[in-house]
Amino acid sequence: MPDSSSITVHHEDTGGEGRPVVLIHGWPLSGASWKDTIPALTGAGLRVITYDRRGFGQSEPAADGRYDYDALTADLAGLIERLDLRDVSLVGFSMGGGEVARYVGTHGEERLHSIAFAAAIPPWLLNSEDNPNGGLPRAEAEKMQAGLRADREGFLDEFLTNFFSAAGELKVTEEQRAEAVALAARADLEAAATCIVSWLEDFTEDLAKVTVPTLVIHGDSDAIVPIEVSGQRTHDQVPGSELVTVKDGPHGINTSHSDGFNAALVRFLTA
């Protein structure tokens, strides 16, 4: 396991005496993508911490080029240890769900109160002979990497349109979509490209170690990480977990359906 202090990621902390919640963003965004959720959580008396994954937002890229989930989760563990967070809830959106699962698998639940997977990639996104129910073949992931490297601006524009669309209809304003594109443009290109193949890691054994209260929230029209590939299977694999399905929800449900998303999250986190 890599040294958890190898990279100091940029984080923001609302402070206060409330129970801590760490929000882990999706690809290719940053901690700033949680701006529609933070007020609802702080309004419920929670202390909210966001951070930028290595190579994204204001965090430095990895000098050794590592963006596998053991390395990414070491950054999360390092943040939790530096802030000495205890009785903490982890909320992972999309790619961020991988850090949540791997944290439990490698660091245990001693510091945890609960976890939430929002439109998240576990248990195993890779489509292969060993995992025929996965949603993303390795060749397609590699094609995405090549497309991003060849035309970053065009790739991100199309990806983030799909990110916020359900059945071909954009579910956010053009201003909100443009804000996401601007956040994505801040990411280090190699960090963003390398992370794409990290999505294919298997989190099945990590999920098997989950015993804390668990929320799974997913849009039923997610075209990036379909609910039947990830959300439903995570719910099935974590005994006692709660599944909330967002009707007509695209991938970016924390923005497109923020009221319902925030209400479900607050209810779960304050129970």
* Residue 107 among the catalytic residues: no
* Residue 188 among the catalytic residues: no
Closest by CA to 249, choosing from 166, 176, 161, 169, is: 166
Catalytic residue among 33, 251, 256, 258: 251
Residues forming beta bridges with residue 117, ordered by sequence position: 92, 216
Catalytic residue among 94, 165, 198, 258: 94
* Residue 257 among the catalytic residues: no
CA 4 to chain centre: 19
**Element holding 219 (H helix, E strand):** strand 214-219
Catalytic residue among 75, 188, 206, 222: 222
Contact criterion met (CB below 8 Å) for 33 and 183: yes
Strands 214-219 and 112-118: parallel
Question: Rounded to whole angstroms, how far apart are CA atoms 213 and 76?
Answer: 20
**Element holding 232 (H helix, E strand):** helix 231-237
Contact criterion met (CB below 8 Å) for 201 and 128: no
Active-site residues, by number, are: 94, 222, 251
